[in-house]
Structure 1
């Protein structure tokens, strides 16, 4: 199997891991059980992976982690919006 395809499939699967959480938050408008520290740590770590992908010119690393950054930023924004309403 081509290593780029393997990287894209692996990255794609791990990148969508937070989508169910985001969908649940958007439907229920409840973020009480989410950790702000976890979300921020994920965003920083994933952003560093994107940077690493650029330094190595590795498209699978760049694409999968950039998508995961976007999902987690949406989760962070949702957290900030719904946090006030849930308390």
Structure 2
């Protein structure tokens, strides 16, 4: 019998859906060179929450939580960097 926990399938599905949900925003921000419609405070709070989820995933040894939140952290941190970069360029 396999050691695979089938409940992890739901974790992986949730991880996939919530992670890819940020790809359209990242792509749009990169394409338009603008993140004016994205709240800076929301990004900072969300990234902080993702960091907490990563720590939690490590502590409970949950691969779906860890992977999903690391990838989502990277996507949202990229949006934050683009927002800051494009805001600086806008006022030069």
TM over 0.5: yes
Q: Tell me the residue number matched to 1:83.
A: 87
Paired residue for 1:13, among 10, 17, 34? Answer: 17
- Report the Cα distance in structure 1 between the residues aligned to 2:65 and 2:27, rounded to whole angstroms: 24
CA radius of gyration, larger in: 2
Q: Which runs of 5+ in 2 are unaligned?
A: none
TM-score w.r.t. structure 1 length?
A: 0.93
Alignment length, in residue pairs?
Answer: 87
Confirm whether residue 33 of structure 1 aligns to residue 37 of structure 2. Answer: yes
Out of 44-53 and 77-86, give the one that drifted further.
77-86
Q: Which runs of 5+ in 1 are unaligned?
A: none
TM-score w.r.t. structure 2 length?
A: 0.88
Deviation at 1:82, TM superposition (A): 0.3
Q: Tell me the residue number matched to 1:74.
A: 78
Q: Is the 8 A contact 1:47 1:69 kept in 2?
A: yes
Query: RMSD value over aligned CA atoms?
Result: 1.3
The structure with the greater share of residues assigned to helix is 1
Superposed structure 1 runs of 4+ greater than 4 Å apart: none
